[in-house]
Structures are given as structure tokens and as C-alpha cells.
Structure 1
Amino acid sequence: MAADDNRRMTTSSALDGAAPLPHWGLIRAQGDDAASFLHSQLTNDFSLLGTAEARLAGYCSAKGRLLASFIGWKRSGDDILLACSADLLAATQKRLSMFVLRAKCKLSDASPQWRLLGLTGPSAQAWLGSAAPSTVWGKTTHEGADVVRLPDVDGTARFLWAAPLDVTPPALPALDEAAWRVSEVKSGVARIEAATVDQFVPQMLNYEVLGGVDFKKGCYPGQEVVARSQYRGTIKRRSFLFSSSAALQAGQEVFHDADPSQPAGLVVNAASPLALVELKLTALEGGTVHVGSADGPALIREELPYLLPVADAA
């Protein structure tokens, strides 16, 4: 079987069932000011967030670099959950808490009391039935769990399932965690990990294309830098999908064969054989890109599941 066929088997036909998500964690924001506080801190609009939708959002430094990324949703008007990378949850919660001040908002690590699963394929659709959110980032409550519709992969629907530990998980086929991680990378939706904190402005990860940035919502940390990047045409780096025969990991430097002296990009997320790589747009104009060094393992560009602005698509 060809390598391309292997990749399709990993990310398409094998995607059915429920997978554990130990690499994700949950921050819970509770209180009358929970939505307004998060609205003032994150790249997306949380003041108008309804209980039937979720948001992709980033948390930036004053220089506009992402310190964390979230999938956030409301359980009720004063109760919001933020799913983020587990390896940076504690540091992110601590930093956010520093800015709560007098706001009526309590932040806590909900991970020990909640279970997260990735659901996908025909069995997930059958379990959800008519309750399945019909659009990406739609959210529903089903059999005691919150369910968020994630971007499809190869036409296969995917969902984030979140529930307290006393809620019985759906009786779906067990899906290998590695297969789910490949689907995360192939979806093209980047997740900030500990290895990539403070490396990217949101547009480098295509967040504005994916609905992760609201340019009308007003101030938040780094907002001026993010807006300037958008409106002054200074986006010179984007994230693209690559495959490789080498085992890759987040934070690895990527080099162009014509310029071995300095990195051209960085691995954002990886799950063999795929990686989401942030890269200088000029590195796509010719030559080859490699991980680790200019003569390291080659990266083969794959197709993203969404379109980038024409000027950036290369």
C-alpha cells in the first residue's frame, strides 16, 4: 500500500468511535463576570457567546504572541469551560487569575472532575442523532455531556465530548488516541503547547481564517499587534500541513535548503506522519524544507482542509 494510502487509512476510514484526550485539560470560569472577563483577555468574543455555540480563541502576550489557545463554551450565563493543552494549563490559569482583580470570576482547573473524549464517525453521529450540532463550533448538551462540533477531517464529523466524571461516556467503539491526534493535526486547527508558547501571533496559525479572532470586539492583551498584522499586510508567515517519514514534535525548527543558517519555521503540532508547520511564505516559493537542519528529514507539503487568503496561499 502506498504511503498516501496509509495516511488516508489513518485519518479517514479508521476514524470511528471515542478516543481519550489526555493531552487536553479544562479551565473553568465561574461567576457573574466570567464572560466579560474572558472577553477582555481573549482574541474572540465571549460577551455574545451563546449556550449553543463554542469559540476558538487565543490568549496573547502584550506583544501579540499566543500564550495559549482554547476551545471555549458556555454551560450557562455564569459558567464557561475552556479546553486547552494540558501541559500549559496550570501556567495559563495562574496568569489569567492575576488579572481577575475585582471581577466576579473564579478560575479553576476542572480537569480532575471532568472527562474529555474525541468522538467521530458513524457511531458518534448515530449516538448524537438529531442532537448533533450541524455547524462547526456548534455546541449541544446530550445525555449529560457538552458536545462541541469540531472541523471535519476527510468528510468525517468530529466532536469534543466533555462531562463530569459521574456522567457515563457513550458506548462507542474505542478509537486509538494516536489516530485522533493525527486527525487534530490534519484538521489544520493549531493548538498551542508548552513547547510553542509565545512563538506566534494568531495569524501565523491561520486563526483569523478559522474564526479564532474577532477584530471588532475591542481591547485584549496584544490586540494592537494582532490588528496591525491584519490591516497593514504584514503577515509573512502561515501554518501549512506537511508529512514526513521522521517522527516530529512541537517546537522543532524547520529549515529551507537554500538558507541553512537560520530556521524558516517551527513545528506547531505533530502526529506521525503529519505535522502542522508555521513557515515563512517565501520558503514555499521553491526548494525544499527540512526538519532539524537544511539536510534533515524532508517535509512534503500536504493540502490544508481550508483556504488561505490568495496572497498567502503560495
Structure 2
Amino acid sequence: MTSHFTLDGAAPLDHLGVIRASGPDAATFLHGQLTNDLALLDTQRARLAGYCSPKGRLLASFVLWKNSPDEVMLLCSADVLPATLKRLSMFVLRAKCKLSDATPDVQLRGLAGPSASTWLADAAPQTIWGRTERDGASVVRLPDVAGATRYLWVAPAGVATPELPPLSTAAWRWGEVQSGIAVIEAPTVDQFVPQMLNYELLGGVDFKKGCYPGQEVVARSQYRGTIKRRTYLFLAGAPVRPGQEIFHSADPGQPAGMVVNAAALPDPAGGSALLAEMKLAAMGDGSLHLGAADGPMLSATDMPYEVTTEAAD
């Protein structure tokens, strides 16, 4: 694949944005809206979570953390932020919670590799999804990619940025795809229940918490054995974009899956890495093609965590 390429340095994350929820009811309000448990979240951990429609389909996905007991930050794809902020705001009602777009007020950097760990020193979180602070910035440990440690660095405007080798946003986005953590972007809004994106495998769904929009559908999918689609990692020799359909050679008349995220390979040979949500039945014999039954062929590659390819009974 791209074994010679190493993620190392700091990358600007202009494709991401941040919603700030502030006030004494911020965590309580979000607890009733998202797929994960915010009631027990402290300032030392970050979490993956989804925001669903009443039909259980993801409208947005977040990495979220608390800066303080009264302030929660939600990182999401920038192209879904305005609509998500507007929709969430409709349900605040009498809760003591103010929602705002914090993107203009913060700096977002992805830090990776030995140089990042050295620069962070004692401030480097030791566990995945651990959160620390350094010079007023939040630092969240993200899952490793290709042997490289990765961190999210979020600081108020004006704080000095990390003095690290420059890393391109394109290279960082390749790492995001390689991590196996799917992110909802504008072309894939309202397409997937969380399990289709493996969110319950990644700790992004809490089945013991109370109600939230779409909770009954999500729970039914889990406990009635109706999970027949999962997300997998592929390589393609062509450009790929989120929302593109994928077809199986044995069933050219209907799509077998959809691209969730994609990134160009940081390799002179070109090509793309992609996360795609697929019918489990399509992951056996035959070939998979992008856009049409005669489109560019996809080759499956290993996910960084175990995903079943067998449909539930």
C-alpha cells in the first residue's frame, strides 16, 4: 500500500468545524440528543457520538469533549455544521444551554508521529480518546494509524501553533480514512444508522443510556439481529468522493454500498483510500466497482479493528 509513508508533523484541519455548547445544562441537553453518554463524561476523556434523525439515520457525527463541566465541544465535518447547529438549537427550549459555531474562535490542527509526541511531552494523552491540556489548548489522543500516534489539537485563536514539520491536510485525511472511523459529510447525511458505520464497535453508541432521537430504531437494529450492512476499507485506482454508489459484479442493477469518506493516497502512484458502507452479502465472491458495474474496481484492505462479514440471522 503506502508503507513508506509516515504521518509526522502538524496539519491544518480546515475541513472540520466545532460547535460549542455552554451553560449548566449543556451536557444534560446533549445527553438527550446524541448516541453516547454525556452524563458520565469528564474533562479527561473524549468520545465518539452520532446525532440521528427520528428514523435513526445519522445527520452528523462528532468527536466531543468537555473543556469544563459547563462547556462541551463537538468536532464535526464543516459542511454539516450549519444545518446541525440549526437543528440542535431548535430543541434547546428552556434548557440552560447556548449553542454556537466556535470554528472562527479556535485553531484546529492534527498532530501526528514522533515529532508530535516529542513536542507534547508530558501533555501527550497516554490512552486513545484521552484528553489533556497544554498552554490553553485541548489535546485529544486519536486512534493510531500505520503505527503513527495521532492527536487533535484545539486552541483559542492567538495561541502559538505547534512548531512541528508541516503535514498536508490531504495526508491527514488519508489517515482519517485509514483509522476506520467514518465521518458524516454533507453527501451522506441521513443515509446510515450508526451500526452501518461500525459506531457501536468503536464505543460511539451507548445502549444503556436514556432516549435520544432515533434511539428505538438504533436499539432495534442491535437487538433484533437486523444489521446487514457494515463499513469497510478499500483502495481504488481512481478519484473517489463521498456519496458515490458501489456496485457488485453479480448484481449490476442495484448498488451494494456507498462511499462514506475518501482520500487520495499520499503516494506518487496515485489512487484513493475509502471507507464504504456495504451490504454484508456483497463482501464475498465477485468484484466491487465504483459508480457503476463497469466502473473502477475496488480492492478490500484490512480494517484496523475486527468487523464481521456475516449477516445477522
Note if 1:234 corresponds to 2:226: yes
Residue in structure 1 matching 2:197, options 199, 202, 205: 205
For 2:305, the equivalent position in structure 1 comes to 306
**Which sits farther off after the overlay, 285-294 or 302-311?**
302-311
1:258 aligns to what SS in structure 2? Answer: coil
8 Å CA contact 1:238–1:312 kept in 2: the answer is no
Please show how residues 109-148 of structure 1 align to structure 2 within 5 Å. Answer: 109-148=101-140
Deviation digits for residues 89-128 of structure 1, max 9, x if unmatched?
A: 0000000000000000000000001010000000100011
Note if 1:9 corresponds to 2:4: yes
Q: Distance in 1 between matches of 2:206 and 2:307?
A: 17
Q: Distance in 1 between matches of 2:141 and 2:59?
A: 24
Residue in structure 1 matching 2:23, options 31, 38, 59: 31
For 1:280, the equivalent position in structure 2 comes to 279
1:188 aligns to what SS in structure 2? Answer: coil
Residue in structure 2 matching 1:67, options 51, 56, 59: 59
For 2:268, the equivalent position in structure 1 comes to none
Aligned Cα RMSD in Å? 1.1
Q: Distance in 1 between matches of 2:198 and 2:303?
A: 11
Note if 1:264 corresponds to 2:256: yes
For 2:296, the equivalent position in structure 1 comes to 297
1:191 aligns to what SS in structure 2? Answer: coil
Which runs of no fewer than 5 residues in structure 2 stay unpaired?
A: 265-271
Q: Distance in 1 between matches of 2:123 and 2:17?
A: 25
Q: Distance in 2 between matches of 1:174 and 1:94?
A: 35
Q: Distance in 2 between matches of 1:307 and 1:28?
A: 33
For 1:58, the equivalent position in structure 2 comes to 50
For 2:267, the equivalent position in structure 1 comes to none
Residue in structure 2 matching 1:215, options 195, 201, 207: 207
Q: Distance in 2 between matches of 1:293 and 1:309?
A: 25
Q: Distance in 1 between matches of 2:70 and 2:284?
A: 49
What's the offset of the Cα at 1:312?
5.6
Residue in structure 1 matching 2:186, options 191, 194, 208: 194
Deviation digits for residues 236-255 of structure 1, max 9, x if unmatched?
A: 00000000001000000000
Give the aligned residue type for 1:274.
Answer: A
**Which sits farther off after the overlay, 217-226 or 304-313?**
304-313
Note if 1:106 corresponds to 2:98: yes
Q: Distance in 2 between matches of 1:312 and 1:176?
A: 38
Q: Distance in 1 between matches of 2:158 and 2:82?
A: 24
Q: Distance in 1 between matches of 2:149 and 2:263?
A: 19
Q: Distance in 2 between matches of 1:153 and 1:101?
A: 41
8 Å CA contact 1:147–1:161 kept in 2: the answer is yes
For 1:89, the equivalent position in structure 2 comes to 81
Give the aligned residue type for 2:145.
Answer: V
Give the aligned residue type for 1:162.
Answer: V
Residue in structure 2 matching 1:46, options 35, 38, 56: 38
What's the offset of the Cα at 1:131?
1.9
Q: TM-score, normalised by structure 1?
A: 0.95
8 Å CA contact 2:280–2:310 kept in 1: the answer is no
What's the offset of the Cα at 1:154?
1.4
Aligned length: 305
Q: Distance in 2 between matches of 1:108 and 1:144?
A: 20
For 1:180, the equivalent position in structure 2 comes to 172
What's the offset of the Cα at 1:135?
1.2
Q: TM-score, normalised by structure 2?
A: 0.96
What's the offset of the Cα at 1:309?
4.4
For 2:153, the equivalent position in structure 1 comes to 161
Which runs of no fewer than 5 residues in structure 1 stay unpaired?
A: none
